[in-house]
Structure 1
């Protein structure tokens, strides 16, 4: 009898303090409502993590208390704008912010890969391998064909109708 496999360790999506840094950076880009911030963070993590209002609004309140943001009334909603003090904090912690953004990007990529159907993951692996092997040996018309196929796939995933196919002459393989 084989011993049971241990349960997979749950990996935290965010390191301690990362949400704080990511939100401050988003506010450094432009003023936003709390709900907008929640949506931006959710999109960053391919919707695998969405901070709750119970997380976001106390965080924004702590930013206000620290003097890093001002909340302005915007048609009955609060829009948060970074202050000079908040910009100074962002500047002082820019390396930490970049590291948090880098971790978030990598985590989002891991999530997307993990959720990818196995046949698609295999097809992408084969495509990448073929690109490496094909390096520097492009025949006339190949780039057009490959680009068109990739653009069609992107359109399909984005829910857009594929562009009308131009029928370029198929590239002849080298003899």
Structure 2
């Protein structure tokens, strides 16, 4: 019996239909452009910036803009709801002064930062990558699609991550990363 899917639940068509890889329209030049923050990155970054020095929302926007050398500036419509979330989560405290809230980190926020130190370093590394991309060193569309396909393949994974499967997939991804770096910087070949 053939399975029927409503239009919004149909399996996606992939690449040419034979390779299992997805083609996504609208990501070429003129599309939305590169995503600057991964889910959760902005919350963690704002928490870290506030822990470094209590400040207002506008100051945070300027600090983030500085991190991107002016190539990106988060909108107030992104910053202030995130600050509200952090405040409601009791990670930061907002103190209204002359109509403007000055945010400071709480003990819970500081503990969260300590727990997420590795993740915060990842956020800062992704900012460096995004900064280069926003300055015009964007990946070609084909590479962008290939990266998306790797993410998609991981999402389609059966979900049974036993130790052998974790090792197999992580080794495969790490070998690919090394091959990309080595191809960009080929080692000097020994002359025989």
Q: Which whole-Å CA distance do the structure 2 matches of 1:78 and 1:114 have between them? A: 37
Aligned residues: 110
Contact 1:46 1:111 (8 Å CA) reproduced: no
Q: Which whole-Å CA distance do the structure 2 matches of 1:76 and 1:28 have between them? A: 22
Tell me which residue corresponds to 1:30.
Answer: 53
Taking only aligned residues, the RMSD between alpha carbons, in angstroms, comes to: 2.1
Contact 1:33 1:79 (8 Å CA) reproduced: yes
Q: Which whole-Å CA distance do the structure 1 matches of 2:128 and 2:59 have between them? A: 19
* TM-score for both structures, normalised by structure 1: 0.57
5+ long unaligned stretches in structure 1: 1-5, 116-175
* TM-score for both structures, normalised by structure 2: 0.52
Q: 1:98 aligns with which of 121, 144, 157?
A: 121
Moved more, 69-78 or 8-17: 8-17
Tell me which residue corresponds to 2:28.
Answer: 7
Contact 2:91 2:110 (8 Å CA) reproduced: yes
Q: Which whole-Å CA distance do the structure 2 matches of 1:75 and 1:34 have between them? A: 14
SS of the aligned residue for 1:21 comes to helix
5+ long unaligned stretches in structure 2: 1-26, 139-192
Q: 1:19 aligns with which of 42, 66, 74?
A: 42
Displacement of 1:113? 5.6
